[in-house]
């Protein structure tokens, strides 16, 4: 056979050369990362501000709901003595054991005219009425959500946000309703507060008085609704023995101020309802 004189096929020779980022490219990446981080921070800040504004509306709606309930049922939620005849009787009345079952069946209160009870030294009692109050406000169609009407597993005063007390739009916070008197107490300024709404985060074995706001947020909120003073008016904070870093100069209600230097969440608030 004749030999083949065809030339070998031509192949391109490819050579890869490793190349790093230039300073301009690195700068562009850093700028993009900064813009993304700034956008996320701005979005989080806007969400937080919206949630803070909702707290004032929640307070106002709850106060109106209690007033409407009292006008309609001739008594306070949780305290009325004929609740079982209206919504049915829960198991174990009047002191239903801790459970997580949201329901409408409820228990009668003692008709004392207060939601729970309090001694002048601040010793709180009849806590079952605190949780029945939210349940009965819900039963009456005056607030959203359904509730257990019973304390949490951590004790007779334990509020579980979203289970036996309402959750706030402010993430991690909720509301507890009770009756409080203090003639002398290291946790709050001496006063006969009466019925109050406690706004704060979950506190193991207790009502919602964990820190939910920074001192700056608490000051802005107090100033908008009240007088901006943590120890006076209808909006108050707890003293440093209860809420470290929330207030300054709290040896007296007149000298106390919010601690604007501290930036983390350190405050829970107490709203005095006036009855």
Backbone angles phi, psi at 6, to 5 degrees: -70, 135
pLDDT at 165: 98
Cβ burial, residue 212 (10 Å; 0-12/13-18/19+): buried
Only one residue has tokens 């707890």, namely 238
3-state SS, residue 193: strand
- Domain boundaries defined on the chain: 56-272
Give strand pairing partners of 106: 89
- Give tens-digit pLDDT for 78-107: 999 999 999 999 999 988 889 999 999 999
Whether 236 contacts 264, CB under 8 Å: no
- Given the structure tokens 């459970």, which residue do they identify? 99
Output the CA angle 221-237-193, nearest 5 degrees.
Answer: 110
Cα distance between residue 88 and residue 107, in whole Å: 8
Query: Which residue numbers in the chain have pLDDT < 70?
Result: 1-21, 23-51, 183-185
pLDDT at 21: 61
Interatomic CA distance for residues 172 and 43, integer angstroms: 18
Would you mind telling me the total number of residues written for the chain in this entry?
275
- Give the model's pLDDT for residue 177: 97
- How far apart CA 223 and CA 235 sit, in angstroms, is 9
pLDDT of residue 53: 78
């Amino acid at each position: 056979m004749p030999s083949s004189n065809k030339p070998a096929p031509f192949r391109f020779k490819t050579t890869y050369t490793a190349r790093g980022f230039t300073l301009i490219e690195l700068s562009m990446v850093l700028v993009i990362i900064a813009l993304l981080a700034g956008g996320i921070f701005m979005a989080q800040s806007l969400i937080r501000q919206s949630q803070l504004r909702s707290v004032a509306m929640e307070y106002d709606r709850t106060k109106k709901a209690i007033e409407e309930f009292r006008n309609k049922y001739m008594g306070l939620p949780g305290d009325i003595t004929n609740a079982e005849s209206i919504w049915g009787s829960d198991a174990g009345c009047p002191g239903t054991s801790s459970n997580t079952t949201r329901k409408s069946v409820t228990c009668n209160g003692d008709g004392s005219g207060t939601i729970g009870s309090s001694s002048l030294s601040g010793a709180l009692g009849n806590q079952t009425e605190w949780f029945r109050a939210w349940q009965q406000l819900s039963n009456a169609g005056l607030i959203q959500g359904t509730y257990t009407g019973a304390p949490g597993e951590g004790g007779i005063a334990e509020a579980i946000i979203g289970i036996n007390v309402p959750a706030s739009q402010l993430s991690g916070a909720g509301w507890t309703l009770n009756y409080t008197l203090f003639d002398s107490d290291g946790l709050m300024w001496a006063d006969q507060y009466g019925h109050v709404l406690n706004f704060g985060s979950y506190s193991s074995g207790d009502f919602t008085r964990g820190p939910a706001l920074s001192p700056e947020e608490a000051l802005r909120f107090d100033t908008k609704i009240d007088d901006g003073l943590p120890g006076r008016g209808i909006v108050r904070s707890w003293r440093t023995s209860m809420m470290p870093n929330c207030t300054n100069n709290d040896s007296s209600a007149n000298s106390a101020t919010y601690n604007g230097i501290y930036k983390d969440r350190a405050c829970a608030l107490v709203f005095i309802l006036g009855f």
